[in-house]
Amino acid sequence: MVSERSLAVLHAIVSDYVSSNEPVGSKAIVDRHSFGVSAATIRNDMALLEEDELIAQPHTSSGRVPTDKGYRLYVDTLAKIRPLTSAQRSAIERFLGESAGLDDVMARTVRLLAQLTNQVAVAQYPSLRRTVVRHIDLVAVGEDRVLCVLILGSGVVEQQVAWLPASRVTEAWVHGLRERIADAAVGADVETAVAAVADLEERMRTVVRADEADVVGSVLEVVRRQLQANRSDRIAVAGAANISRPGEFGGALPLVLEAIEEQVTLLRLFDELVQDGRDVAASIGRENEVYGLAETSVIASNYEDEGTPVSKLGVLGPLRMDYAGNIAAVRAVARYLNRLLGEDRQA
């Protein structure tokens, strides 16, 4: 059981080590913090923390640094998270509020989070399987081409040209097919719409001529691909340059870079992390060993809307990071992103 003062000493060591990247000694703690006790007393507290494997001595005659276990206790006992400044909050609102379309929202989100935290920022695209199909349009752009336009409730707009195996497509034909597709898919979620369009294609083949069935099939295949593309998990990443600081990851930097490149690993890690029910969760050091990321810490949160599978965003960085500041940044960005997407859905 760590005493109240020993816990305060641990917090002081973490704070000083994060800011200086130098082992912290008892004299430095006495000079920088108001404990009202002697350096000898602080050394006793440090000895107890070291006995509990919460801090370690990297070199003989040096100060102490936090261990993975020490960082974990520090994060779990943060009395309060340092709030973002009003300027930082205004910057989040202004920067994300200027975005146009979902891709721009996600790109801006990770750029902003990387700037606020100086870590690698990761954001999973909204889970679109349950997003409603708002609008489907077909526009004849030639005798053998039809532009397929898909608009989802999340703000995603997809446009793709269907090249047809026959010419002389008329406006009336395009209008009739558009109405059939809209009746089947608009108002349904993406998952349901995919099945509805596939079913429509089967039914159309039984009621139209064989040559027309090929033309109809070409259009419906494009629409189905557009819908299916929005069922897959995608992530946006920014701030990879932040992990290039010397010494932060020891010899594990190649593994960190590989995890960033192989997005499946990050998605699995973030998915498991945010299932503990907290609005912001942290996974530290050896807790990430199963993913090959034992030299990293991850801070993550959920965002998104009512009744749908949640998406995740957060930051990945070294063990020596500003946990309080990064947790505050992740929480603030997640909350604003949730609000922004909610406004888009109501528009």
pLDDT of residue 307: 47
Tell which residue, 104, 119, 131, 143, has the closest CA to residue 245: 119
Q: Considering the chain, what is the average pLDDT of its residues?
A: 86
Rounded to the nearest 5 percent, the helix, strand and coil shares of the chain are: 55, 20, 25
CB 12 within 8 A of CB 24: yes
Dmax (CA) of the chain = 93
Q: Which helix (H) or strand (E) holds 238?
A: strand 235-238
**Rounded distance between C-alpha atoms, residue 201 and residue 185, angstroms:** 12
**pTM to 2 decimals?**
0.73
**Domain 130-229 belongs to what architecture?**
2-Layer Sandwich (3.30)
**Rounded distance between C-alpha atoms, residue 153 and residue 130, angstroms:** 10
**pLDDT tens profile 43-62:** 999 999 999 999 999 887 77
Q: What distances in angstroms separate CA 39 from CA 18, 29, 31, 43, 201, one per listed residue? A: 21, 8, 9, 6, 79
pLDDT of residue 343: 65
**pLDDT tens profile 60-78:** 777 999 999 999 999 999 8
Handedness of CA 162, 168, 169, 171 (dihedral sign): positive
Domains of the chain by residue range: 4-76, 86-127+234-346, 130-229
For domain 86-127+234-346, give its CATH number from 3.40.50.10740, 3.40.190.290, 3.30.450.40, 2.40.128.110: 3.30.450.40
**pLDDT tens profile 244-302:** 776 677 778 888 888 888 777 888 888 777 665 668 899 999 999 888 888 999 999 98
- CATH (residue range 4-76): 1.10.10.10
SS3 148: strand
